[in-house]
Amino acid sequence: MPRKRILVLNGHPAETSLSRQMVLAYAKGAADQGHDVRVLHLRDMDFDPDFGFGGFKTSKPLEPDLESFLNDLEWCQHFVMAAPMWWGGLPAKLKGLIDRAFMPGRTFNSRGNGLPEPLLKGRSAHVILTSDSPWWYFRFLLHRPLFWQIKRQILEFVGFKPVTFQHFAQASHPDPKTVDSWLEKVGRSGAAVA
């Protein structure tokens, strides 16, 4: 199996979280197979999450942690992001990371007419989501809007394909055996990267 460069992002803003455990399980599974893995924790990143401008022409200068994140995205062949679903969306700081870092010239080029050109082609992505909503409610009643936003409007928009998902539901107060089984599944996903 060829060795891959994998960037794994813990998108939970707290110091300890289920997302953090899942990221570490995925990273270990991939590293045990000989892949080159870098792990980032949103909590440790220092940047202003507010885009703060009305257009792309006057964007804020990127802080060092945003530059480092972009360099890691350009380095990787496979990007993994773990995050909780809060109020049907991503945590504010994680959304701020995307708002600030996914800018023209680094992740896509504007064409003026038609869809922008993605600049991160040739990379795959895997998203690990946790939620309080039962899986059936999220899938059948809500029709998985966060999946589509992350897949189509964020990751595929800048070039990541394919984008796969793992969803772990009713994650606020799972019992330890459930957590262990979830971490085992995520670790197997890391080990199975091809």
Q: What domains are defined for the chain? A: 5-191 (3.40.50.360)
Report which residue type is found at 150. I
User: Could you tell me the CA-to-CA distances from 114 to 104, 117, 157, 166 in Å, in that order?
Assistant: 15, 9, 13, 32
User: Which of 25, 3, 17 has its CA nearest to residue 166?
Assistant: 25
User: Which of 1, 88, 104, 94 has its CA nearest to residue 49?
Assistant: 94
Neighbours of 140 (CB within 10 A): 10
pLDDT at 137 over 80: no
- 0.95 cut: is pTM over it? no
Confidence of residue 172 (pLDDT cuts 50, 70, 90): confident
pLDDT at 135 over 70: no
- pLDDT, one tens digit per residue, over 139-169 is 655 657 789 999 999 999 999 999 999 999 9
Confidence of residue 111 (pLDDT cuts 50, 70, 90): confident
As a whole number of angstroms, the distance between CA 26 and CA 7 comes to 11
Average pLDDT over the chain reads 92
- pLDDT, one tens digit per residue, over 19-73 is 999 999 999 999 999 999 999 999 999 999 998 876 667 778 899 999 999 999 9
